Amino acid sequence: MIVESFRLPPLDDNAYLVVDEATREALIIDPALGAQTLLARAQELGATVKVILNTHGHPDHTADNAPLQAATGAKIGIFEVDAGRLSRNAREAPWYLSAPPPASKADLLLKEGSEVRVGSIVLTTLHTPGHTEGSACFYRAAEALLFSGDTLFAGSCGRTDVQGGSPARMVSSLRRLAQLPPATRILPGHGPETIIERETWIADLAYPVV
């Protein structure tokens, strides 16, 4: 399995290209405004993009869903609770975009435990609300690898003072992730990667779990 990360606009978002080395089938996680960059690299690797996954529905992560899908025919997957954000994003430009992103629509409405398969790669959906109601992480158990979106960063977590955010639910989600194997690699939506055993601060969170 090939996993490559890309730091992309509009907010230094991390996008990921994941390729099955045998079949050359690929998926992209959170394309941000990086469709051209991601497509060019996929072509260099001889990979065919089959799935576009969104860890949540904020437009800095999903802005290039539509052009990427148009170029590849890939299916878009997002946790079902956040799916409505994709159409809402097209109606209004946030401060960090010059215009609203093109509308996109989910083909795969993911739930807790949903598996996304590309070639021999299987990612399991973990519902981790707190940043948004439908925030999710994608876990590759075979290689102890977690794409954590804006739930868990190195040394911190995503904001909860946004629409759909919840400090209590974030704490619950972080405590859940802390139970993963200590060597689990965390590939976040922003910033550098980390591993679970480094994120000892999670154990000190005092907000009540609901």
* Nearest C-alpha neighbor of 127 from the set 173, 96, 86: 173
- For the chain, the domain total comes to 1
Q: What is the pLDDT of residue 132?
A: 98
Token pair listed for 108: 């795969």
Helix (H) or strand (E) holding 61: helix 59-62
Q: Whole-prediction pTM value?
A: 0.96
Residue type, 3: V
What is the CB neighbour count within 10 angstroms for residue 6? 17
Query: What confidence tens digit (pLDDT) does each residue in 64-87 have?
Result: 999 999 999 999 999 999 999 999
Domain that holds residue 183: 2-204
In this predicted structure, the answer to whether residue 173 has a pLDDT above a threshold of 90 is yes
Rounded CA separation 189/55 (Å):
8
Q: Does 86 map to a domain?
A: yes
Q: Does 210 map to a domain?
A: no
CATH code of the domain in which 129 resides: 3.60.15.10
In this predicted structure, the answer to whether residue 210 has a pLDDT above a threshold of 60 is no
In this predicted structure, the answer to whether residue 93 has a pLDDT above a threshold of 90 is no
Q: Does 209 map to a domain?
A: no
Q: Helices 65-72 & 35-44, crossing angle to 10 degrees?
A: 30
